[in-house]
Amino acid sequence: MFRLLGFLIGSATAIIIILLVLGIPEFNLSDAGNDQQRFDAAVEKLRIKQQEVADVAKTMFDEVAAVDDGQNNIEPVTEKALPEPSAQPLPDVPDFADYYPAIQDELQWYSFWNPFRSEIAARGFVTQLEKVTGLDYRVVKVRTGIYEVAFAFDSDVERRTKLSQISAATGLDLPD
C-alpha cells in the first residue's frame, strides 16, 4: 500500500516539475483551416518529390538502355586474348611418399586432450591451437560422438618437446 502511494506521489511530483520547467503546452485544436493548409502543403511537397524521383528513374533507365545497345555492337575479344594451349604434357609430380617413405611409416599420432563430443568443437580447438603454436594437428574420430585431437611425432623426445611447446603457448596443463 505504501509503495503504491509513494509511486503515485512521485509521479505527480514529476509531472508538476516538468510542467513548471517547460511550461504548459498550448494546443491549437480549434483552427481547422490552418490544419488543412498544412496538410495540402505537405501533400504538394510529396508530389514534387515523387515527380523528381520518376524523372531520375527515367533518365537512369534511358542511360542503361543506351549502354546495353552499345555493348551489343562490341565483338567478343575474349576468344582472341586467350593463349594457345601448349602441346607439351605436364610433367608427372611424384608423391610425397616417394621422397619421404621413412617419415610416413615412422610417424605416430599422440592424443593429448580430453575427447570432444562434436567434430565441430574439435576442429575449432585445432584451429586455435594451430594459430597459437604453428604445429600440425589432426582430429581423430574414435567413434560416434567422441573426437580426439592429436599431433604427429616420431620419437619420445619430439613428443615431449611438442607437449611443452603447447603448454607454453596456451597455458594449458598437459600431462606427460
CB atoms within 10 A of CB 146: 13
Which of 89-93, 122-126, 144-148 shows the lowest per-residue confidence on average (mean pLDDT)? 89-93
Taking CA atoms, 143 is separated from 31, 47, 86, 139, in Å, by: 81, 69, 49, 12
Give me the chain's average pLDDT, please.
78
Measured at the CA of 22, the angle between CA 18 and CA 28, to 5 degrees, comes to 115
Share of the chain above pLDDT 70, in %: 73
Write the pLDDT tens digit of every residue in 43-78. 899 899 889 988 888 888 888 777 655 555 555 544
With a CB cutoff of 8 Å and minimum separation 6, the contacts of 142 are 115, 148
Q: Are 122 and 147 in contact (CB under 8 A)?
A: yes
pLDDT score recorded for residue 105: 53
pLDDT score recorded for residue 23: 84
Exposed e or buried b per residue across 12-39, where buried means at least 16 C-beta atoms within 10 angstroms of its C-beta = eeeeeeeeeeeeeeeeeeeeeeeeeeee
pLDDT score recorded for residue 15: 93
Distance CA 12, CA 24 (A): 15
Distance CA 49, CA 131 (A): 55
Fold that domain 98-170 belongs to in CATH: Alpha-Beta Plaits (3.30.70)
Write the pLDDT tens digit of every residue in 150-163. 888 888 888 888 88
pLDDT score recorded for residue 10: 96
Q: Are 111 and 149 in contact (CB under 8 A)?
A: yes
Annotated domain spans of the chain: 32-70, 98-170
Strands of 146-153's sheet in order across: 108-111, 146-153, 137-143
Share of the chain above pLDDT 90, in %: 15
pLDDT at 104 over 70: no
